[in-house]
């Protein structure tokens, strides 16, 4: 085992990472620095500081990264309209590159020669954390306890805590689901969800009401965009993280944003999970609406053609890769003209676009009208257009080719 003097641990303050602190101290005989990020998970993060102190940690980082998370990671991804496998809005995936970035920065600040995380050897997060770390600090050592130790059950972790005097809340019993939360989403995995046929319990969901129980009166909201990013709601300018928090609340109140999917993990297995992404669901619908009037047809189709690749890159953990940066440069260039307002109706789980307007709109009422257009469009031009585009089809048919 190589010598490690100091390691920076992504620390939640929960059972797994509390055990990891002590395990690192015992196994590597090293100093541990803890890093706890507030990404809007809806839980108080400051208690993690006290827990780290109780474990003998001297250097403790507890940081509010909500604005950076939404502004520099969520918003750029939503400019791309990124959806993985047609349904997943990448809530967990997009949080990992920021955590990896801060782990590396803190390692540089504190002189640490290693970083560590609590991701298991079965999931995607180990890949995301480590790809990000290696991209930003190629020589860094990564310690992944779940790939080294034999504490492979909750009971073994609790026994370890008892043996080492580690205080853990709610030792008895078992949480029904494995959950991950940030400002973009909350995910649920494990237990009954491991059977793809079994329905999720109604009381599992935390952010949203059931669509059936949502208000009988629709909620109307106006969203304002500048260069592809949301900047105001109902005319009120807001910071990026405030916008997403507001949309989570209003969306959740109207039963918006629930999905139940089976996805293909990068490591090779299929995984069933349930996700609540109320704000993200609203943002996706609104962004496509404002793009529909502001983007040139071929530019819009080009964006759509690279979106699955972009989503896959983010899902697999390559946020810091040259291909993601190259795609982002193209996407961001298209957003210069994506400015204006979108009006939405939220009703019992649905997000309906009822209006869109922009000074940069390419929608020309004089040309699109079914009424008299004053010569703006000559319908006779369509005849030659159709014949030219049919030429290859006609030739093939004349040659007897089967269609």
Mean pLDDT of the chain: 94
**Domain match, 147 and 188 both:** no
**Catalytic-role residue among 49, 113, 178, 201:** 178
Poorest-pLDDT segment among 154-158, 307-311, 324-328, 394-398: 154-158
CB atoms within 10 A of CB 371: 7
Q: Of the residues 164, 196, 216, which one is the last residue of a structural domain?
A: 164
Does 166 or 287 have the greater pLDDT score? 287
Q: What are φ and ψ of residue 361, in 5° steps?
A: -65, 140
**Domain match, 372 and 262 both:** no
Does 247 or 175 have the greater pLDDT score? 247
Quick one: pLDDT at residue 176? 64
pLDDT value at 167 more than 90 = no
Q: Of the residues 106, 132, 164, which one is the last residue of a structural domain?
A: 164
Q: Of the residues 140, 164, 188, which one is the last residue of a structural domain?
A: 164
pLDDT value at 168 more than 80 = no
**Domain match, 97 and 183 both:** no
pLDDT value at 174 more than 60 = no
Domain residue limits at 387: 367-398
Beta bridge partners, 233, equal 223, 236
DSSP H helices, 55-93, are: 66-69, 75-79
**Domain match, 154 and 47 both:** yes
Q: What is the pLDDT of residues 62-82, one digit of tens each?
A: 999 999 999 999 999 999 999
CB atoms within 10 A of CB 253: 16
175 in active site = no
Instruction: Give the tokens for residue 121.
Output: 């050897």
Classify residue 34: in a domain, yes or no.
yes
357 in active site = no
Does 51 or 168 have the greater pLDDT score? 51
Domain count of the fold of the chain? 3
Classify residue 346: in a domain, yes or no.
yes
Antiparallel, parallel or unpaired: β 31-38 and 6-10: parallel
**Domain match, 259 and 377 both:** no
Does 188 or 1 have the greater pLDDT score? 188
Classify residue 105: in a domain, yes or no.
yes
178 in active site = yes
Structure confidence at residue 96 as a pLDDT band (50, 70, 90):
very high
Classify residue 83: in a domain, yes or no.
no
**Domain match, 349 and 377 both:** no
Q: What is the pLDDT of residues 192-205, one digit of tens each?
A: 999 999 999 999 99
For the residues 359-370, what does the mean pLDDT come to? 92
pLDDT value at 170 more than 70 = no
Quick one: pLDDT at residue 245? 98
CATH code for position 109 = 3.40.50.620
CB atoms within 10 A of CB 76: 20
Residue tagged 């005319």 (tokens):
235
Could you tell me where the beta strands, DSSP code E, fall in 91-132? 114-116
Q: How far is CA 147 from CA 122, 150, 261, in A?
A: 9, 9, 27
**Catalytic-role residue among 16, 38, 180, 229:** 16
**Domain match, 38 and 57 both:** yes
Classify residue 332: in a domain, yes or no.
no
Quick one: pLDDT at residue 93? 97
**Domain match, 24 and 131 both:** yes
Q: What percent of the chain has pLDDT over 90?
A: 87
Distance CA 174, CA 21 (A): 22
pLDDT value at 221 more than 80 = yes
Quick one: pLDDT at residue 113? 93
pLDDT value at 172 more than 50 = no
**Domain match, 259 and 379 both:** no
Classify residue 388: in a domain, yes or no.
yes
Q: What is the pLDDT of residues 224-244, one digit of tens each?
A: 999 999 999 999 999 999 999
**Domain match, 240 and 353 both:** yes
**Catalytic-role residue among 12, 18, 66, 125:** 125
Distance CA 101, CA 72 (A): 12
pLDDT value at 398 more than 60 = yes
Quick one: pLDDT at residue 402? 83
CATH code for position 267 = 3.90.1260.10
Structure confidence at residue 154 as a pLDDT band (50, 70, 90):
confident
Q: Which of 13-17, 357-361, 364-368 has the highest mean pLDDT?
A: 357-361
**Domain match, 130 and 194 both:** no
**Domain match, 285 and 371 both:** no
Classify residue 322: in a domain, yes or no.
no
**Catalytic-role residue among 96, 128, 258, 285:** 96
Classify residue 302: in a domain, yes or no.
no
Q: What are φ and ψ of residue 64, in 5° steps?
A: -90, 105
**Closest C-alpha among 20, 26, 31 to residue 114:** 31
């Amino acid at each position: 085992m190589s010598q490690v003097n100091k390691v920076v641990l992504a620390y939640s303050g929960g059972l797994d990472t509390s055990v990891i602190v002590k395990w690192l101290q015992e196994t590597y005989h090293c100093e541990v620095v803890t890093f706890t990020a507030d990404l809007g998970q809806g839980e108080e993060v400051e208690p993690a500081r006290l827990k780290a102190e109780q474990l003998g940690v001297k250097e403790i980082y507890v940081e509010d990264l909500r604005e950076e998370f939404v502004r520099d990671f969520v918003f750029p991804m939503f400019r791309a309209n990124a959806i993985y496998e047609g349904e997943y809005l990448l809530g967990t995936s997009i949080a990992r590159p920021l955590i990896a970035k801060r782990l590396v920065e803190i390692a540089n600040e504190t002189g640490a020669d290693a970083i560590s995380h609590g991701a298991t050897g079965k999931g995607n997060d180990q890949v995301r954390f480590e790809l990000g770390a290696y991209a930003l600090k190629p020589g860094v050592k990564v310690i992944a306890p779940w790939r080294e130790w034999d504490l492979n059950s909750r009971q073994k972790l609790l026994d370890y805590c008892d043996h080492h005097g580690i205080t853990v809340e709610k030792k008895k019993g078992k949480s029904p689901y494995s959950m991950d939360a940030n400002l973009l989403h909350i995910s649920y995995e494990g237990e009954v969800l491991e059977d793809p046929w079994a329905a999720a319990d109604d009381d599992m969901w935390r952010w949203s009401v059931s669509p059936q129980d949502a208000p009988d009166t629709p909620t109307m909201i106006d969203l304002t965009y500048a260069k592809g990013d949301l900047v105001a709601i109902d005319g009120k300018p807001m910071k990026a993280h405030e916008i997403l928090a507001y949309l989570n609340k209003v969306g959740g109140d109207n039963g918006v944003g629930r999905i139940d999917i089976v996805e293909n993990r990068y490591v090779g297995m299929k995984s069933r999970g349930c996700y609540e992404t109320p704000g993200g669901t609203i943002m996706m619908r609104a962004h496509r609406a404002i793009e529909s009037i502001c983007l040139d047809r071929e530019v819009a189709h080009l964006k759509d053609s690279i979106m699955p690749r972009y989503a896959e890159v983010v899902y697999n953990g390559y946020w810091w890769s040259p291909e993601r940066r190259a795609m982002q440069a193209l996407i961001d260039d298209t957003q210069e003209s994506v400015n204006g307002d979108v009006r939405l109706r939220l009703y019992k789980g649905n997000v309906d676009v009822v209006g869109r307007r922009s000074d940069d709109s390419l929608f020309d009422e004089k040309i699109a009208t079914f009424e008299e257009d004053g010569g703006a469009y000559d319908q006779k031009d369509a005849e030659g257009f159709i014949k030219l585009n049919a030429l290859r089809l006609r030739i093939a048919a004349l040659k007897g080719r089967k269609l």
